[in-house]
Amino acid sequence: MTALAAPDKTSQDNGLTRPAAVHEEVYQRLRRAIISGQLEPGRALSVRGLAAEFGVSAMPAREAIRQLAAQGALEITPTRRVAVARMSQEKLEELCDARLALEPSLAARAAKASAEAREALAEALTTIDEALDQAIKRGDSADYAKYNSEFHFALYEAPEAPVYLGLVESLWLQTGPFMRVVIGRLGTSSLDDDKHKEIVAALRAGDPEKLETAVREDIMQGMSNIVRGYSPEE
């Protein structure tokens, strides 16, 4: 019933750092689940339900919900109930425009890093992209969504641009759930010609303009798939 990934306890940066707040933990897990499309649009959430799912009290669940609602990932119904945000034709167009306005120029900043940093990032991206390709061959749409989001955010986190990153995260939080529905509808077979190879190549070359257009094309193609898979029902 859950499908909400447990935290990766292997990364022990513990030493002098304070243990993460419980509500932060809940927020991160829920956030990842939404971005990678593990929760379908309209899916009802509740404070007590989430609290039980995570084995915590109501307070951290409330805070996580409020935070994700502020980022547009969750909707508050007129009767104050909470659900994963739904998609609409107009919203889809807005999301597409906004992604095109932000993500390419954010990615371009990654191409301006040092050659070593670019190479390290390129290798990391390649690793993710291979896992992504295998997910496509396997027809595993869950893993596809997961690795696709990991690929993009590995790229977007590289230039340290917290403002941009926050905006882009908000966009993915709103696209993620719906994306997954569409992939489930179309299957992964229609997704095997993404522009990730071009993205990595442009990054390696240190060419911001080329990286920009590669990301733009990747977005446009992905979003056009979504539009293709969009049917006006609910």
Task: List contacts with DNA (CB under 7 A).
Answer: 18, 21-24, 45-49, 56-60, 62-63, 76-77, 79-82
> CB 75 → DNA: shortest distance, Å?
11
Cα(203)–Cα(121) distance, integer angstroms: 8
Helix (H) or strand (E) run with residue 45 in it: strand 44-45
Nearest alpha carbon to residue 65 among 55, 56, 75, 57? 75
Number of shown-chain residues binding a copy of itself (CB under 8 A): 32
Is 67 or 127 the residue whose CB approaches a copy of itself more closely? 67
Joined together, the tokens standing for residue 61 give 């669940």
Cα(35)–Cα(142) distance, integer angstroms: 11
Beta-carbon-side half-sphere exposure of residue 16 (alpha carbons within 13 Å): 0
> CB 94 → a copy of itself: shortest distance, Å?
4
Give the per-residue contact string, 15-44, with a copy of itself (x = CB under 8 A; - = no).
---x--x-----------------------
Q: Where are the beta strands (DSSP E) in 108-216?
A: none
Maximum CA extent, the chain: 54
> CB 83 → DNA: shortest distance, Å?
9
Joined together, the tokens standing for residue 189 give 């077979």
- Pick from DNA, a copy of itself, none: which does 60 bind, CB < 5 to 8 A by kind? DNA
> CB 66 → a copy of itself: shortest distance, Å?
5
- Pick from DNA, a copy of itself, none: which does 110 bind, CB < 5 to 8 A by kind? none
Is 42 or 72 the residue whose CB approaches a copy of itself more closely? 72
Length of the chain: 234
Name the amino acid, one letter, at 31: R
Binding site for a copy of itself (CB under 8 A): 18, 21, 62-63, 66-72, 78, 80, 90-91, 94-95, 97-98, 101-102, 105, 160-164, 166-167, 170-171, 174
